[in-house]
Amino acid sequence: MAKRSDLHGLGVLVTRPVHQAGHLCDLITAVGGRPIRFPTLAIRDLGTNPAVDARLARLGDYHLAIFISPNAVHYGLAAITRHGDLPAGILLATVGNGSAVALQQALGRPPDIVPQKSFDSEALLALPALQEVAGRRILILRGEGGRELLAETLRRRGATVEYAEVYRRERPAPQGSPRDWLEKADIISITSSEALHNLVAMTPAPLQGRLLTLPLVVISERTAQLAWELGFQQPAIVTRQAGDEAILEAISDWSQRQRMQQQQ
């Protein structure tokens, strides 16, 4: 567990959407860091959609519902309740631990299927429960657009897969001056590849050089690879899990290593 003085005033750029940044910011503050809020994603409710509503109205026809993200849990469950209760017999799966926690908090029950180590579509697809799915009907609750790997792989395995897209990800207008946060930030936390793309796009060209020198903490190897492709000069630090506590742990470990190197 990180001690209160671990971060020694370290400036941590928090790029989570506005409504999801508070917990991580509180954790950073509690161990002596300085959270700097600069959201690079905004989440919008898509509201009613006839195709989605039709699928949710017959949710009992599906064997499995997969929630891609905590936002999919939040907006997906809200949409489901417009059509009644969650069917008792349906299995629930999440891609990551954050979605599993959100599901537990919302329903009082954990998902039936969730990866325990890596938290991405590849890890979910590797689980024994998703190997023999021929003839199964599966609904994926997600944001608008996104990767097709999960659905394509499950279809190749013989499942019938449909989407319920219940929210939209957007690039927000910058809050504050990028120059200000670049001067204050020592490390950046990134929780999706889209958030990283947006961060680069939201940083003016004259400031790109400074941005690319900063270390990144990310929650997947895929985002770490993207950081390298975008020109970040330091290998991104990949957390052991996807939650805020794991992000803080990775930041604290990096901070301690930096201080030890300075003392040598």
Going edge to edge, which strands form the sheet with 91-94?
A: 42-45, 160-170, 137-143, 64-67, 91-94
Residue with tokens 């300085």: 34
11-41+175-263 shares its CATH topology with 44-170:
yes
Going edge to edge, which strands form the sheet with 216-218?
A: 34-37, 11-14, 187-189, 216-218, 237-238
pLDDT of 59 reads: 94
Question: Is residue 3 scored above 70 in pLDDT?
Answer: no
Fold of 11-41+175-263: Rossmann fold (3.40.50)
Three-class DSSP category at 62: coil
| Of 112-116, 120-124, 248-252, 254-258, highest mean pLDDT | 248-252
CATH ID of 44-170, from 3.30.1360.170, 3.40.50.720, 3.30.390.50, 3.40.50.10090: 3.40.50.10090
Provide the percentage of residues in the chain whose pLDDT is more than 70.
98
Question: 4, 252 in Cβ contact below 8 A?
Answer: no
Beta strands 216-218 and 34-37, pairing class: unpaired
Among the residues of the chain, which ranges form H helices? Answer: 22-30, 50-57, 70-81, 97-107, 121-125, 149-156, 178-184, 193-202, 208-211, 221-230, 244-263
Provide the percentage of residues in the chain whose pLDDT is more than 90.
76
Residue ranges per structural domain of the chain:
11-41+175-263, 44-170
This prediction has a pTM of: 0.84
pLDDT of 38 reads: 95
Buried b (16+ CB within 10 A) or exposed e, 139-148: bbbbbeebee
Question: Is residue 120 scored above 50 in pLDDT?
Answer: yes
pLDDT digits (tens, 9 = 90+) for 182-234: 999 999 999 999 999 999 999 999 999 999 999 999 998 899 999 999 999 99
| Rounded distance between C-alpha atoms, residue 50 and residue 35, angstroms | 41
Question: 188, 212 in Cβ contact below 8 A?
Answer: no
